[in-house]
Amino acid sequence: MPPQKRKLSDLSTPDVTNITGALFTFTEGLDENDEGTKPLLEDFRRILQKLRVTAAQPTSFSSATKDDLNRAKIFFQNLEWKEDGKVSAAEHGLFAKTNSFLSFENTQTMISIILSHVPQVNEMASRMLTDLVLLHLASTHSDETEAVTVIPDYTVMKTKTTFDGIHSYGGVMDYLVAKYPKEYSNAMLCDPISILERESITEKRQSNIFEAKNLASMRDNIAQVVLAAAATCQQEGKKCTRGALTDGNTWIFFTYSQVDSGGGNYGLTAEITLGEHAERLPLILGLLRDWLDNAHDPNLQYFNAV
């Protein structure tokens, strides 16, 4: 039997990329002024447009791989501690208002209870710890002028990558943590998505994205959070942003920065673990505070990008 013929919609993204690349290269070499070539060029351009529409179906962040990062021209940088980075970050983590119920001491105790009584074997268990740490950040980092809100299951609308205008990505991130002027706090709790989309808020707020995964799958989801960071930057007109992957106990912090030629760079820290008795909580809290305060600043206080 002859092989089954495929529909255009059956083509995979790599298939479409290879075909459009070859067609584009071929048509660029044709003489547009030649009368015999003009009709052929018009046909090729119609085919290219049709293929681009086919390829524009969004890739979910959850299915993203390192190949997607390479295709989007987003490349890795290692984040290494500066000489006094750990000490300074830990000191920063202890610098928080003390009149919150989720004080450092109470938060540390509750983390120890969770680690002692809840098996950390799936994403739901990861969220118990992550919820507690992010709630501590929100409650101790809000003040008279600025509020911090934790938004679960934050949807990032599909966004095309800048380098080719073809591939698009979209999906849901586990958390977005936003810091913004306090006068918007009541509205943010009622309708966070609409408030976040206001241009007046976008210019004033800082935000990080977080993904809660079990330890075994954390590194497999790096492409997911990096592409989400790239998409949020593109939507909001930001040049850079930050966030973290975590199972609640172990944290990998990341940065993303656009480059003018298209694509970008992402940086990753080494894994940082709370410890059996949450003894490294100050270090993690210090990074969370710095990450949120400087979410869209390319300069890093505690790390060097190498």
Beta strands in the chain (DSSP E): 59-60, 74-81, 146-160, 168-181, 206-212, 240-246, 250-258, 264-268, 272-273, 303-305
pLDDT of 57 above 60: no
> What value does the mean pLDDT take over residues 229-241?
87
Residue 23: both structure tokens together = 């067609």
Q: Which residues pair with 241 in a beta bridge?
A: 256
Contacts for 273 with CB less than 8 Å, ≥ 6 apart: 249, 250, 251, 280
d(CA 232, CA 218): 21
**Distance separating alpha carbons of residues 241 and 295, to the nearest angstrom:** 5
- Average pLDDT in the 98-104 region? 80
Would the pLDDT of 3 be above 80? no
| Between 275 and 252, residue with greater pLDDT | 252
Most confident of 70-79, 96-105, 228-237: 70-79
Neighbours of 305 (CB within 10 A): 15
Backbone angles phi, psi at 77, to 5 degrees: -130, 145
DSSP strand pairing (250-258 vs 264-268): antiparallel
Q: Residue 168: its pLDDT value, please?
A: 61
Instruction: Determine if the pTM surpasses 0.85.
Output: no
Question: What is the pLDDT averaged over residues 75-94?
Answer: 94
Pairwise pLDDT comparison (38 vs 246), residue with the higher score: 246
Helix (H, G, I), strand (E, B) or coil at 234: helix
Crossing angle (nearest 10°) for helices 104-117 and 123-141: 180
- Whether 93 and 282 have beta carbons less than 8 Å apart is answered as yes
> Given pLDDT bands bounded at 50, 70 and 90, which one contains residue 8?
low
Pairwise CA distance, residues 250 & 274, whole Å: 6
For the stretch 161-188, what's the b/e string if a residue is b when 16 or more beta carbons lie within 10 angstroms of its beta carbon?
Answer: bbbbebbbbbbebbbbbbbbeeebeeeb
Query: Other C-beta atoms within 10 Å of 119: how many?
Result: 7
Torsion of CA 261, 265, 159, 155, to 10 degrees: -160
Q: How many helices (H) and strands (E) does the chain have?
A: 11, 10
Return d(Cα 266, Cα 272) in angstroms, integer. Answer: 18
Sorting pLDDT into bands at 50, 70 and 90, what band is 16? low
- Return left, alpha or beta for 263; rule: phi > 0 is left, psi -120 to 50 is alpha, else beta: left
pLDDT at 31 over 90: no
